[in-house]
Each structure stands twice: as C-alpha cells, then as structure tokens.
Amino acid sequence: MRVGEKIKNLRVQKHYSITELSNKAQVSKSYLSYIERGIQENPSLQVLSRLAKTLDVSLEELTGEPFKEREQDSPPPIDPEWLEMIDEAIQNGVSKEEFAFFIDFMKYKQNKPK
C-alpha cells in the first residue's frame, strides 16, 4: 500500500476530514489531497513527520520503511511547497533577476537598523 493510501485510511479511522488533518498537521489541503490521491508520490520527510505525529503513528508505520538519517554529504530535501511557489512565480513571468532582487531586498530589510 502506498503512503497516500495509508494516510487516507488513518485519517478516516481518526474521523478527520481532509481539512481537519491539513490544519492540524500544517500541510496545505491541496498538497495533502495530492498525496492521498497518489499525484505526489514522494512527500518530504518534514511533511510525513507532521502527518505521522498528527495521526499518532510512527514515521516507519506511515511509510512502511525504517527511518534512516540522511547522509551528511547529501543536501536536505527541498520542501515541495517551495517548489510549487517557485513554479508559480515562473508561470507568472518572474525572472531570475527579479527573484534575486527580491532576495536581496529581504536581506536588506532584515539587516536594516530599526
């Protein structure tokens, strides 16, 4: 059984609507729906951990695999919600230069004396 099916089965057993689970686990409703329907087959460890905790099961029980720490040399996984936002920015015509300008602006704003 794939992870999305397990999440849906556990959600139904706990009598949570998809909205309730998404709110409790702090996962967007649309992203949770994608996971449950098998559209998103590889959710991040962070998302899976929040769902497992909310559903009161272990990460291993949810994924069916023993938990393994990632290798020190491997980069951390990119949160899929960030990828969705980046895709949306690209679809709306945001250029790399504009994105870089925004990042520079945020750095300036954070370091600006108050």
| Cβ pair 4, 32 in contact under 8 A | no
What mean pLDDT is reported for the chain? 84
pLDDT digits (tens, 9 = 90+) for 19-61: 999 999 999 999 999 999 999 888 888 889 899 999 999 888 8
Q: 66 pLDDT band (50/70/90 cuts)?
A: low
Q: Is residue 72 included in any domain, yes or no?
A: no
Task: Report the distance separating Cα 98 and Cα 104, nearest Å.
Answer: 10
Distances in Å between the Cα of 62 and the Cα atoms of 21, 39, 55 are 15, 17, 9
The domain in which residue 25 lies consists of 3-63
Q: Which of 15, 75, 62 is nearest to 35 (CA)?
A: 62
The rounded Cα 4 to chain-centroid distance in angstroms is: 13
| Cβ pair 51, 25 in contact under 8 A | yes
Q: What is the mean pLDDT of residues 86-102?
A: 85
Query: Which residue shows structure tokens 């959710």?
Result: 43
Q: What is the mean pLDDT of residues 80-105?
A: 83
Please state whether the predicted TM-score (pTM) of the whole model is above 0.85. Answer: no
Same domain assignment for residues 17 and 46 = yes
Same domain assignment for residues 33 and 59 = yes
pLDDT digits (tens, 9 = 90+) for 15-26: 999 999 999 999
Q: 75 pLDDT band (50/70/90 cuts)?
A: low
Q: Is residue 71 included in any domain, yes or no?
A: no
